Amino acid sequence: MATANLHTLDSDILFGLLATSTDLVSLRCLILSHRALYHAFNDSRRLILRTVFKTQNNVHPLRRLNERDITAAEKYINRLTSINAIDRVALREALWPALERTIPAKTPSKWATTLLACYNKAELRDDALSFAKRTMGLILASPQPLHTEHRIFARAVIRTYMAAKMPDEAIELEETILRHLAPRSPDHSIWAKQLLVTYQDTGHAEKILPLQLASWELYRQSVGSGSEVALDWARSITRGYQLKGEHEKAIEFHQTVWNCLDPTTQQYVAWSRQLIHWLQKSNQHGEALVVTEQVWHHLQPNARGYRPWAAQLADQYEAAGRPEMAVAVSEAVWAEVLACLTRFPNDASWKYQARGAGLKLARAYRLNQRGDEATALEAKCREISI
């Protein structure tokens, strides 16, 4: 065929001629060979690039791409530094039909995330939304659990929805992904916290507290009341109440969490300390005293906070006008510590604890006009050599 006659050929014929190129290098040479081919290429640029790149990578319905094929195509595209955004979309679209068939594998999910980013960069918003909705639907339809690449793609879809002013679709997807995640997975809590941010940013503040309460209850039951994830959500709930000035609700919920904790753990002691502070701050001194009593009764003499908690309890009894109970606490501490010293008479730490407990009790005796008992006890403490 003479070169001059290319001007007379129908555009469909020119398209077919370009689309038969075996690779992009051959296509480039063909385009540069005649102005008519150049114009024909630009008229169907995206489709021709997609078709030729399929041929170059041997993509067809009866062949399954392997990792080596995909890696080679990825490297080839990444080497094309001067390519424009829409051309990059076309090259990635070329492999997508073959990759789509392998969903929910990790590789197509990675490719999908990059392709969606290309759509957005090329400002092909309708294509981006259509691709995001279809691909996300295929991933969610799979019975397999969501892996990291699925969640990364979902984040990209959510950003696409938000950029398109579609907050309801973004929220719906975030909620759906959360339901698909296992509560014991660290990603579950991360995703739930991001959903809180989305609620706040999209004017759905009324959904925040219900999600927080549901998350705390879920982690409490599935991971444990004393787990860090459950307590982290519990803290966020109490902070939320406090920021809204609902201090009574904060205390009430804090007590609910406290009642769920194992009294032999450090978490129980820590939450007790904070609960006592809030109760005292709200002038609920009787309730604060009850909490202190419970904490102290669960502590053993060898616990680090045994004597400090006893001292605090005694002070609270004094403040409540119950000096006899304050003395009873100090007597109980003295008896317990002395019993430990009897079992370990050469232990310097128990000697130190015994002298401290004895002198504390002696001061309590003197405050309650029991001077003789105080003097006798002080003498006994001096006999304990440290």
Q: What is the structure's pLDDT at 386?
A: 67
333 and 372 in a single domain? The answer is yes
Which phi and psi (to 5°) does residue 248 adopt?
A: -65, -40
Does residue 7 belong to any structural domain of this protein?
A: yes
Q: What is the structure's pLDDT at 18?
A: 92
166 and 71 in a single domain? The answer is yes
Q: What is the structure's pLDDT at 239?
A: 96
Q: How far apart are the first and last CA of the chain?
A: 112
- Please report, in tens digits, the pLDDT of each residue of the chain (386 residues total): 445 477 667 788 888 889 999 999 999 999 998 898 989 899 999 999 999 999 999 887 768 888 899 999 999 999 998 899 999 999 999 999 999 999 999 999 999 999 999 999 999 999 999 999 999 999 999 999 999 999 999 999 999 999 999 999 999 999 999 999 999 998 999 999 999 999 999 999 999 999 999 999 999 999 999 999 999 999 999 999 999 999 999 999 999 999 999 999 999 999 999 999 999 999 999 999 999 999 999 999 999 889 999 999 999 999 999 999 999 999 999 999 999 999 999 999 999 999 999 999 999 999 999 999 999 999 999 988 76
256 and 355 in a single domain? The answer is no
30 and 67 in a single domain? The answer is no
Does residue 281 belong to any structural domain of this protein?
A: no
Q: What is the structure's pLDDT at 339?
A: 95
Q: What is the structure's pLDDT at 284?
A: 96
170 and 63 in a single domain? The answer is yes
Q: How many CA atoms lie within 13 A of 127 on its CB side?
A: 15
Q: What is the structure's pLDDT at 216?
A: 98
Does residue 276 belong to any structural domain of this protein?
A: no
Does residue 294 belong to any structural domain of this protein?
A: no
95 and 175 in a single domain? The answer is yes
Does residue 316 belong to any structural domain of this protein?
A: yes
Query: Quick one: angle between helices 285-298 and 266-281, nearest 10?
Result: 160
Does residue 287 belong to any structural domain of this protein?
A: no
Q: Do 307 and 356 form a contact (C-beta atoms < 8 A)?
A: yes
Q: What is the structure's pLDDT at 282?
A: 94
Which phi and psi (to 5°) does residue 103 adopt?
A: -60, 135
Domain span at residue 364 reads 299-385
Does residue 286 belong to any structural domain of this protein?
A: no
174 and 192 in a single domain? The answer is no
253, 271, 289 — which closes off a domain?
271
Query: Sign of the C-alpha dihedral, residues 277, 279, 282, 283?
Result: negative
**DSSP assignment of 333-377, as one string?**
HHHHHHHHHHHSTT-HHHHHHHHHHHHHHHHHHHHTT-HHHHHHH
- Tokens linked to 339: 């019993």
Q: Alpha-carbon distance 196 to 204, whole Å?
A: 9
Burial of 242 (0-12, 13-18, 19+ CB in 10 A): middle
224 and 134 in a single domain? The answer is no
49 and 62 in a single domain? The answer is no
122, 148, 180 — which closes off a domain?
180
173 and 223 in a single domain? The answer is no
Q: Alpha-carbon distance 107 to 148, whole Å?
A: 11
Q: What is the structure's pLDDT at 59?
A: 86
**DSSP assignment of 85-108, as one string?**
HHHHHHHHHHHHHHHHTTTTSHHH
Residues 6+ apart with CB under 8 A from 24: 49, 52, 53, 56
Does residue 38 belong to any structural domain of this protein?
A: yes
115, 149, 180 — which closes off a domain?
180
69 and 49 in a single domain? The answer is no
Tell me how many domains the chain contains.
Answer: 4
32 and 69 in a single domain? The answer is no
Q: Alpha-carbon distance 159 to 133, whole Å?
A: 12
Q: Do 171 and 205 form a contact (C-beta atoms < 8 A)?
A: no
Q: Looking at residue 74, what DSSP letter applies?
A: H
